[in-house]
Chain A
Amino acid sequence: MEALEEEIKQLIIEALVLEDVTAAEIEPDAALFVEGLGLDSIDALELAMALEERYGVKIGDDPEQNRQIFASVRALAAFVSEHRP
């Protein structure tokens, strides 16, 4: 899971062209949206697309579920691990 978390951190940084942050500095449990990394709704769409392209996972249709999926890198890795084809 740790390797996947690292991959996902890299993916976030690359897909969103984040400056001033390295993978090592992203806490796996830290918030991704609003606080923590401070990502926004446009980033969410971009990220969902990047995840689908890389892992084949489709982000579901439940906004409540999505809040949990995108809560942190750890949550995201767990989701990808479970749903990748």
Chain B
Amino acid sequence: MRTRPIPLSRLLAGDGDPALRVAFGRHGERTRRDLVRDVSALAARTAAVGTGRWLLFTADSYAMAVGLLALACGRSLAVLPPNRQPETLRRLADGAVGALVDGDVAQLAGLPALSPLAAGPTGVGARATLDRDAPLAEFRTSGTTGEGQPVQKALRHLEDELAVLEERLGSLLPGDTRVFATASHQHIYGLLFRVLWPLATGRAFQTETLLHTQELLPRLRACESAALVTTPVHLKRLAASADLRALRGICRAVFSSGGPLDPTTAAAVAEGLGAAPIEILGSTETGGIAIRRRHLDGDVWQPLPGVEIRRRDADARLEVTSPFVSVGDDAGGGRTRALLGDRIDLAPGGGFLLQGRADRVVKVGEKRLSLPEMERALGEHPGAEEAALLVLEHAGERRVHAVVAPSPLGQELLAREGRRALRAALAQHLALRFDPVLLPRAWRFVDALPRDAQDKLPQSALRALFADRATSRPTAPKLVAEERLADGLVRCLEVPGDLAQLEGHFEAFPLVPGVVQLGWVLAAAAAWLGGPPLLVGLEALKFPEPLRPGCRVTLELRRSADGRLLRFRIRGERSEHASGRAILAEAAVPGAT
């Protein structure tokens, strides 16, 4: 049975059933009664240390909820670090009175540290209605100016968005829906969707972040009704490695946010689950803006209730006005207007399409990065004069790529100890401040950045510096010509110089392994027969002469009179590389192509 949603400000006011389950996980189940008790206890302990800015960083989502609410009771501000990099924590510790963090930590970044769930004397337990206008949480993000910006949310910003989420999406999730997540609650998306929205609406949430399909699937399957709060990277893996049909009727909604969800994954999820993923467009500054379900909306984003969008004529940039925006100009009636870096086109019916960014803020692995900020950070390092960054595909994922003009010191290090040393030094410098997934995966060191006549850095010039990398070596020979015969097939093949299977075979004398040549024979047989042949065995196999890369060869395949044997040969102009016979299970009959 659905409980009525409780506004965030009244979560501690004693409304609702105290036995209601709010969270579940490794440490068991927590009820609303537990929450109120734990919040009271923590509020007393934090008050004893001081009121003001507190860092809040937990692995456990229930601890996050307790921490956030306890600080709100004490009128303190919860500062949520986006990552645990030492430099990030050090900067955020400035001006803070304490830290709330899981585990036994006496100190964090020089601050007194408390564990949100440690046992302590029970607080007064006063029923509290929290102040809607009091600052509740501060996030940190990269903004368009390039410096990490603090973004504060008053309780009302979150409370109002939760009401709208429930209004727009609540009907998808029955009251007993259990909420699981791969997304972190240190960011606004995770905090809202996996902790606060369930909390406000009486749905229970998983306390641990489950990143592995093998962890997630059985737990989802064990539910009557479940929802998943995730991001494109994880959803892609989930769709690729699991049979989502096992979750039909169980997983009612999959939320994805943090970056573009590729249409293939979206379709795969829709097909498997029987329900399309719900993409959320939003930002830390603006809160939620719009949602999209590709099978219903195509590429068009539909604004959430209460969100007004406008396209700025001058540069097509998106302007958002809503009660959830916390950084921008006052638009009256409790709403704020913000201008985003995204360019849009308006669609009929009130929706819009994204058309790329006007600034250089990118998303990699769902983390936001201001490229100018990282470029500046690189420039600060004594080994680098200047740097230019771009995002390119690398091993199947979008990654940051760096082009660096080393300083004289850097050049010296390069000469003395090689690329690896300079790259390690620069990466270590960046690792102090940026999340690991944002660190550049490929580096090019140049004498000077490739500026053009107008002193600009064309993307094409930067991209060209990475064109030398073979991200995928060919794994098959090049088919130059083919002739179909009545009793067989003749193919003219060219062995690529960088054939993948040459790797390590052999360092000083690369040659195509015999088994690889056999693979080519079988591929030719499959092409001729219209499907892979069922083999009983191979006989008279010979590999008389090594097949070197760069050679052109002829592959001949002939069926014996009775159709049971396929004789094959791979030969060069004056050489024989492979020969033998494949014994077929059934007489070969060439199939229609």
A contact residues vs B (CB 8 Å cutoff): 10, 14-17, 19-21, 23, 34, 38, 40-43, 45-46, 49, 52, 58-63, 66
Q: Is B214 an interface residue (CB 8 A)?
A: yes
Interface readout for B229-245 with A: 1 if CB under 8 Å, 0 if not?
00001100100110000
Instruction: Known A10-B504, A41-B365; judge A46-B469 contact (CB<8 A).
Output: no
Which of B214, B234, B437, B500 has the most chain A CB atoms closer than 10 A to its own CB? B214
CB distance from A25 to the nearest CB of B (A): 9
Collect the chain B residues with CB atoms within 8 Å of residue A62's CB.
Answer: 215
**Chain A residue contacts of B237, Cβ below 8 A:** 45, 49
Q: Are A20 and B437 in contact (CB under 8 A)?
A: no
Is A63 within 8 A of B240, CB to CB?
Answer: no
**Of B212, B215, B241, B397, most A-chain CB atoms within 10 Å:** B212
- Which residue of chain B is the closest to A38 with respect to CB atoms? B427
Contact: A61 with B419, CB < 8 Å? no
CB distance from B183 to the nearest CB of A (A): 13
Given the known interface contacts A41-B437, A42-B397, the answer about A19 and B443 at a Cβ–Cβ threshold of 8 Å is yes
Q: How far is the CB of B552 from chain A (nearest CB, A)?
A: 27
Q: A46-B395, A49-B240, A61-B218 are in contact. Are A41 and B211 (CB under 8 A)?
A: yes
Chain B residues 406-441 with CB under 8 Å of chain A are 419-420, 423, 427, 436-437, 439, 441
User: Do the beta carbons of A59 and B233 come within 8 Å of each other?
Assistant: no
B436 x A10 contact (CB < 8 A): no
Residues of A contacting B145 in the complex (Cβ-Cβ under 8 angstroms): none
A59 near B212: Cβ-Cβ < 8 Å: yes
Which chain B residues (344-392) contact chain A, with CB distance < 8 Å? Answer: 365
6 more A-B contacts (CB under 8 A) besides A17-B395, A46-B395?
A: A15-B395, A21-B420, A41-B365, A42-B233, A45-B233, A61-B214
- With contact pairs A41-B436, A41-B437, A46-B396 given, residues A61 and B365 touching in the complex (Cβ less than 8 Å): no
| B457–chain A nearest beta-carbon distance, Å | 22
Q: How far is the CA of A62 from the CA of B218 in the complex (A)?
A: 13
The answer to whether B437 and A40 have CB atoms under 8 Å apart is yes
Q: Closest Cβ of chain B: how far from A57's Cβ, in Å?
A: 11
Residue of A nearest to B395 (CB): A17
| A-B pairs with beta carbons under 8 Å apart, 6 shown | A17-B442, A20-B419, A20-B443, A49-B240, A59-B212, A61-B218
Contacts of A60 in B (CB 8 A): 212, 214
Tell me, yes or no, whether B394 is within 8 Å of chain A by CB. yes
Q: List the 5 closest A-B pairs by CB distance, nearest first.
A: A61-B214, A40-B436, A61-B215, A17-B395, A20-B420
Of the listed residues A40, A58, A60, A62, the one surrounded by the most CB atoms of chain B closer than 10 A to its CB is A40
Interface residues of B (CB under 8 A from A): 211-212, 214-215, 218, 233-234, 237, 240-241, 365, 394-397, 419-420, 423, 427, 436-437, 439, 441-443, 469, 471, 500, 503-504
Residue of B nearest to A34 (CB): B436
Query: Cβ of A43: which chain B residues have Cβ within 8 Å of it?
Result: 395
In the bound complex, CA of A15 to CA of B441 (Å)? 13
* A10-B504, A41-B437, A45-B233 known; A17+B394 contact, CB < 8 A: yes
B427 to A, closest residue via Cβ: A38
| A38 contacts across to B, CB distance below 8 A | 427, 436, 439
Given A19-B442, A45-B233, are A58 and B214 neighbors across the interface (CB < 8 Å)?
A: yes
Q: Are A19 and B437 in contact (CB under 8 A)?
A: no
Contact of B423 among A16, A17, A20, A63 (CB under 8 A): A20
Q: How far is the CA of A61 from the CA of B219 in the complex (A)?
A: 11
- CB <8 Å contact, A63 and B469: no
The answer for the CA separation of A43 and B233 in the assembled complex, in Å, is 11
Using A38-B427, A40-B437, A41-B437 as known contacts, say yes or no to A46 and B214 having CB atoms under 8 A apart: no
CB neighbours (8 Å) of B233 from chain A are 42, 45
**How far is A48 from B396 in the complex, measured between Cα atoms in Å?**
14
Residue of A nearest to B424 (CB): A38
A19 to chain B, nearest CB (A): 6
Instruction: Please give, as numbers and ranges, the residues of chain A lying within 8 Å of B504 by CB-CB distance.
Output: 10, 23
Contact of A49 among B241, B437, B443 (CB under 8 A): B241
Distance in angstroms from A35 CB to nearest chain B CB is 10
- Residue on A with the closest CB to B240? A49
**Are B214 and A59 in touch, CB under 8 angstroms?**
yes
B215 nearest CB neighbor, chain A only: A61
A19 nearest in chain B by CB position: B442
Q: Which residues of B contact A66 (CB under 8 A)?
A: 212
Rounded to whole angstroms, the CA-CA distance of A38 and B441 in the bound complex is 10
CA distance A21 to B442 in the complex (A): 12
- Shortest beta-carbon distance, A39 to chain B, in Å? 9
Which residues of chain B have C-beta atoms less than 8 A from A20's C-beta? 419-420, 423, 443
Closest CB of chain A to B232's CB: distance in Å? Answer: 11
Q: Which residue of B lies closest to A66 (CB)?
A: B212
| Cβ-defined contact, A10 with B423, below 8 A | no
Q: Report the minimal beta-carbon distance from B159 to chain A, rounded to whole angstroms.
A: 32
Cβ of B423 to closest chain A Cβ, rounded Å: 6
A46: which B residues are within 8 A, CB to CB?
Answer: 395-397
Residue of A with least CB distance to B398: A42
B-chain residues with CB within 8 Å of residue A59 when the two chains form the complex:
212, 214
B469: A residues at CB distance < 8 A: 17, 19
Task: Give Cα A58–Cα B234 distance, bound, in whole angstroms.
Answer: 16
The contact of B212 among A10, A23, A63, by CB within 8 Å, is A63
CB distance from B242 to the nearest CB of A (A): 11
Minimum C-beta distance from A44 to chain B (A): 9
Q: Measured between alpha carbons, how far is A49 from B285 in the docked complex, in Å?
A: 35
Which chain A residues lie closer than 8 Å to B419 at the CB level?
A: 20
Q: Which listed residue, B211, B214, B471, touches A17 by the CB 8 Å rule?
A: B471
Bound together, the chains give a CA A59 to CA B215 distance in angstroms of 10
Look across to chain B and name the residue whose beta carbon is closest to the beta carbon of A7.
B504
- For residue B60, give the distance in angstroms from its CB to the closest CB of chain A: 13
